[in-house]
Amino acid sequence: MFEWDAGVRNQDSEFADLDNECEETYTTLLEEKQASRSDLSDKKGQVEQKLEERKRGLAERSRTSKLWLTYMKMVKVARMLILADRLGSWSRGLSAVGECLPTFGAAGHFNYLKSAYMYLQNMSNLETRNPEVFQKFQEGFHVIHRTDQCCAGLGADLVTSPDFNHHAFTTSEQHKDKYRSKNDQRQFRLKEA
């Protein structure tokens, strides 16, 4: 039992019973007895439902709780975006971008909101407009893999920006003679930026 879950268990005996059932199902599954994965996923769904009810109750009673739950949701969406890139899961990435739309609107980032909305619209039509590209994206070719390791996908923006920054902040050949020392070159780059 986790410490964070002790308060919920003490206040809700039904949740405590459900938690114990999940633990028993998981143990029997590990020991390869009669429990199945579907039993465990059913229990997981029930636990998630109970936790969501608890979160709603907390959000209604306290503005601080509501703020923290909103923050946790934003972090969850950010993690979904990163995981989608790492796994090369295009559908998961689209889902995560869709989850970002309310945050963009609430934060006043209307250009991001408009761009993300248009991106989702274009990608929803991709299967009919360009089936070959759609198939490649489904296979994970929308991210760049520098190695063959699992979870090693990187978005194109993360791969190309270091190269761009390297070239953008390098002084031209005619100025290299003028600014010979490292300190002079650094100061020149700062002035030019």
Whether pLDDT at 121 is above 90: yes
What is the token pair recorded at 50?
A: 């109970």
Identify whether residues 41 and 107 lie together within a single domain: no
pLDDT of amino acid 47: 80
The CA distance from 140 to 51, in Å, is 33
Average pLDDT rounded to a whole number, residues 145-160 = 65
* Range scoring the smallest mean pLDDT among 4-18, 30-44, 90-104, 117-131: 4-18
pLDDT of amino acid 179: 45
pLDDT of amino acid 144: 73
Whether pLDDT at 94 is above 50: yes
Question: Would the pTM count as exceeding 0.85?
Answer: no
Whether pLDDT at 118 is above 90: yes
Cβ within 8 Å of residue 2, ≥6 positions away: none
- Give residue 44's pLDDT band: very low, low, confident or very high (50, 70, 90): confident
Count of domains observed in the chain:
3
Identify whether residues 76 and 51 lie together within a single domain: no
Identify whether residues 129 and 183 lie together within a single domain: no
CA within 13 Å, CB half, 111: 0
pLDDT of amino acid 160: 61
Identify whether residues 78 and 89 lie together within a single domain: yes
Identify whether residues 94 and 22 lie together within a single domain: no
Of 40, 61, 82, which one is at a domain's C-terminal end? 61
Identify whether residues 91 and 138 lie together within a single domain: yes
Identify whether residues 87 and 122 lie together within a single domain: yes
Cβ within 8 Å of residue 84, ≥6 positions away: 90, 92, 93, 95, 96
pLDDT of amino acid 34: 62
Cβ within 8 Å of residue 142, ≥6 positions away: 88, 90, 93, 136
Mean pLDDT value across the chain: 76
- Give residue 163's pLDDT band: very low, low, confident or very high (50, 70, 90): low
Identify whether residues 102 and 137 lie together within a single domain: yes
Q: Which domain holds residue 88?
A: 63-150
What is the token pair recorded at 113?
A: 């909101």
Q: Give pLDDT tens digits for 51-60.
A: 888 889 989 9
**What torsion, rounded to 10 degrees, do the Cα atoms 64, 69, 72, 73 define?**
-140
